[in-house]
Amino acid sequence: MPANTALDAQAPPGAEVPPSEAVTPLIRGIAVLRQLTEAGGTLSPSALERATGLARSTVDRITATLARMGYVRLDGRDAVLAPRVMELGNAYLAALRLPALLDARADALADELDESVSLAVADRDGIRFIHQATRRRAMSLSFRIGDLLPAERTAPGPLFAAEWTEADWARWHTRRAADPQDRTFTAVPPREHPRTRATHATNAADAAGAVDGTDHANSAESADSADSADSADEVFVRQAARAAADGWALDDQLIEPGLVALAVPVRDPHTDRVACAASVVSHTSRHTAADLRDTLLPRLRAAVAEMEADLRDAPPPRPGPPPSGLATWTTASKHELGRDFIESLARGLTVLTAFGEGRSALTLTEVAKATGLARATARRALITYEYLGLVTAAPDRTFTLTPRVLSLGFAPLARTTLPRLAAPHLRALADRLNEPVSLAVLTGSGAGQEIQYTARATTARVLTVDITVGTRLPADATSLGRVLLADAPGSLPDPLTEVRARGYALVDEELESGLRAIAVPVRDRTGRAVAAVNVATHAARRSLEDCVTTVLPELAETAAHIQSDLGTASRFTAVPLV
Ligand code: PHB
């Protein structure tokens, strides 16, 4: 299957020609987002041209539009995925509701077992991660939320395949034949030569046989049978049947040597179908595959039983407010940017954000209402998404997002940190003010609390404050420390009460003669001040009044941008503060 044009790269097999009502600019914009995702988040314009088959001028207009939406950032000439794009994947994850209901159980299981635990859903003939509770280990690659893996090389795969229809199996065979080495699955190493792979499998089969006296294992079988792609595929067919009977499945180093996983299905209590799979993931230096099953299966099953109870007892979803003013916003942007803003792309993308918790199945009317788009516009966007496999239409005329929405920028940002989120905003402010800008967090406790600098954007001035990332200073002596201390629950000394009331801290030549600094807090989704951002200057450069009237509003705006990115990124992933 050629995958070198925007249309081909997006088309599900058998649907090469887009329906006549599909929105071409939307198809192209989605192709750009997917190529950026596959590339790990950054591409030059010429690399985007090559990857999508689009003309340079088209690529430029698409990236300008995505930049306006906050979905990409233009870094020099490169397009870089920006945190705001995660709102697309967030819409899917919120609508799905499984992360909100099950993440805490998966995290607790990972803590209990001291092994990584993940949740994955079926995505056609692949599996896609919707949660990762990862242990840091020296050895092992770990996947991100949004990564897509070929079903037959994973533990959850056989559990999902146990429910496949003939058409699903046919699609899988077609894909296997078209891509025998899994090159289209950029999250996994390409398949090794079948013989190499069979070596691991033989070990696994031996190990499993030694434990329970049989030679079955949900892993690839003997060296002989794995000799050709065809017989390797037969193995997966048997694994799926086995998984249906056993209620668990193993991945014995099917992705890479050393990586082993055990998965159990989490069933939807209302339909009894597999909603997602919970996997325990380890390394052969800790557990062989058979050992993983023998020692951890009971505990994994117990956790899954609790997950299923949680799904059964879940309160009805609470629909949040639909996004507002989107259509108005795109019109304003069109007026401002003119030809460089592709309104049909921006409008089409807003359709995805109409979905969310309690808004998982929407009619055309509901989508139009939520986005403020004309019905005809919303309808064409939905037709486009259905063609692209991002939305499915049910017989009751409602539309639902598919896991494929996570292929739009999510994974490359799923492992970001607060310093990385903040960096472009700090840079922009430092450039605007021509003053150094810093981000810091509070460390330690009690009287000896310190701040630690976690990100900085400096300027070319000769006289600047000599601080680097990692530097620690006493919290109570610095503007950064004071805004953070002022957020502490409980009673505060008077000066901090004042800082809290004002919302900023100004330190004037207290730490060092001539040094003037002003700081504001950066809050997480719960409202807690988790970091602070400041501008440092010299008394000779800016008066106190200038700090408050000129610097403070700019600083507050920067903090708001960082906070908004943190809020988007941390909705379904843990964003480390350091
Ligand atoms: C993972 O969560 O990283 C994982 C899960 C199942 C597999 C492989 C990896 O089969």
Is 289 touching ligand 1 by the criterion CB < 6 Å?
no
Q: Is the pLDDT of residue 60 over 80?
A: yes
* pLDDT score of 205: 43
**Burial class of residue 346 (count of CB atoms within 10 Å of its CB; 0-12, 13-18, 19+):** buried
Mean pLDDT of 294-321: 96
- Contact, 455 vs 566, CB < 8 A? no
Handedness of CA 105, 106, 107, 110 (dihedral sign): positive
Instruction: Please report which helix (H) or strand (E) contains residue 308, including its range.
Output: helix 289-313
Q: Is the pLDDT of residue 139 over 70?
A: no
* pLDDT score of 545: 96
Length of the chain: 578
Pocket test of ligand 1: the residue of 103, 219, 255 to mutate, having most ligand atoms within 8 Å of its CB, is 255
pLDDT of 226-255, one tens digit each?
Answer: 456 677 789 999 999 999 999 999 999 999
Handedness of CA 254, 255, 260, 261 (dihedral sign): negative
Is 221 touching ligand 1 by the criterion CB < 6 Å?
no
Q: In whole numbers, what is the pLDDT of the chain averaged over residues?
A: 90
Is 185 touching ligand 1 by the criterion CB < 6 Å?
no
* pLDDT score of 222: 41
Question: Concatenated DSSP letters for 30-79?
Answer: HHHHHHHHHTTSEE-HHHHHHHH---HHHHHHHHHHHHHTTSEEEETTEE
Pocket test of ligand 1: the residue of 143, 148, 254, 287 to mutate, having most ligand atoms within 8 Å of its CB, is 143
Taking alpha carbons only, the member of 465, 491, 475, 574 closest to residue 532 is 475
Is 115 touching ligand 1 by the criterion CB < 6 Å?
no
The share of the chain scoring above pLDDT 70, in percent, equals: 89
Give residue 190 CA to ligand 1 midpoint distance, Å: 16
Taking alpha carbons only, the member of 225, 223, 277, 221 closest to residue 249 is 277
Is 154 touching ligand 1 by the criterion CB < 6 Å?
yes
CA distance 274 to 168: 15
Mean pLDDT of 84-109: 98
Mean pLDDT of 26-40: 98
Is 142 touching ligand 1 by the criterion CB < 6 Å?
yes
Is 137 touching ligand 1 by the criterion CB < 6 Å?
no
Q: Is the pLDDT of residue 510 over 90?
A: no
CA distance 497 to 486: 6
What number does the ligand 1 atom closest to the CA of 153 have? 10
Is 413 touching ligand 1 by the criterion CB < 6 Å?
no
Give residue 276 CA to ligand 1 midpoint distance, Å: 13
* pLDDT score of 327: 74
Give residue 261 CA to ligand 1 midpoint distance, Å: 6
Q: Is the pLDDT of residue 278 over 70?
A: yes
- Contact, 48 vs 79, CB < 8 A? yes
The share of the chain scoring above pLDDT 90, in percent, equals: 80
Is 355 touching ligand 1 by the criterion CB < 6 Å?
no
Question: Concatenated DSSP letters for 155-217?
Answer: SHHHHHHTT--HHHHHHHHHHHHH-TT-TT-TTSPPP--HHHHHHHHHHHHHHHHHHHSS---
CA distance 378 to 348: 7
399-401 and 126-133 beta bridge pairing: unpaired
- Going by alpha carbons, the residue nearest to atom 2 of ligand 1 is 118
Give residue 443 CA to ligand 1 midpoint distance, Å: 34
Confidence band, pLDDT 50/70/90 cuts, at residue 137: confident
What's the one-letter identity of residue 524?
D
309: left (phi > 0), else alpha (psi -120 to 50), else beta? alpha
Confidence band, pLDDT 50/70/90 cuts, at residue 198: very low
What's the one-letter identity of residue 571?
R
Mean pLDDT of 417-435: 97
Instruction: Please report which helix (H) or strand (E) contains residue 81, including its range.
Output: strand 78-81
Is 300 touching ligand 1 by the criterion CB < 6 Å?
no
* pLDDT score of 208: 42
Give residue 126 CA to ligand 1 midpoint distance, Å: 12
- Contact, 31 vs 52, CB < 8 A? yes
Burial code (b: 16+ CB inside 10 Å, e: under 16) for 500-515 equals beeebbbbeeebeeeb
pLDDT of 397-411, one tens digit each?
Answer: 999 999 999 999 999
CA angle 281/282/286 to nearest 5° reads 160
What number does the ligand 1 atom closest to the CA of 154 have? 10
Alpha-carbon dihedral 74, 76, 81, 83, rounded to 10 degrees? -70
Give residue 127 CA to ligand 1 midpoint distance, Å: 9
Q: Is the pLDDT of residue 197 over 50?
A: no
Q: How far is CA 523 from CA 42, 441, 462, 533, in A?
A: 28, 11, 33, 11
pLDDT of 527-546, one tens digit each?
Answer: 999 999 999 999 999 999 99
* pLDDT score of 463: 61
Mean pLDDT of 332-336: 89
HEC per residue, 93-128: HHHHCHHHHHHHHHHHHHHHHCCEEEEEEEECCEEE
Give residue 252 CA to ligand 1 midpoint distance, Å: 10
**Strand, helix or coil at 91?**
helix
Give residue 262 CA to ligand 1 midpoint distance, Å: 8
Residue 114: phi and psi, rounded to 5, are: 55, 40
Give residue 128 CA to ligand 1 midpoint distance, Å: 10
- Going by alpha carbons, the residue nearest to atom 7 of ligand 1 is 154
Is 118 touching ligand 1 by the criterion CB < 6 Å?
yes
Q: Domains (ranges, CATH) in the chain?
A: 3-90+319-413 (1.10.10.10), 110-313 (3.30.450.40), 418-569 (3.30.450.40)
Give residue 289 CA to ligand 1 midpoint distance, Å: 12
* pLDDT score of 331: 87
Angle between helices 24-38 and 45-52 (to 10 degrees): 110
- Contact, 212 vs 203, CB < 8 A? no
* pLDDT score of 445: 82
pTM, 2 dp? 0.92
Q: Is the pLDDT of residue 453 over 50?
A: yes
Alpha-carbon dihedral 171, 172, 178, 180, rounded to 10 degrees? 180
* pLDDT score of 193: 59
Q: Position of tokens 């150094």?
A: 436
Q: Is the pLDDT of residue 32 over 60?
A: yes
CA distance 338 to 342: 8
CA distance 112 to 550: 51
Q: What is the CA radius of gyration of the chain?
A: 26
Pocket test of ligand 1: the residue of 109, 248, 279 to mutate, having most ligand atoms within 8 Å of its CB, is 279
Give residue 186 CA to ligand 1 midpoint distance, Å: 15
Q: Is the pLDDT of residue 149 over 50?
A: yes
472-474 and 148-150 beta bridge pairing: unpaired
Confidence band, pLDDT 50/70/90 cuts, at residue 138: low
The DSSP 8-state label assigned to residue 321 in this structure reads P
pLDDT of 463-487, one tens digit each?
Answer: 666 789 999 999 999 999 999 999 9
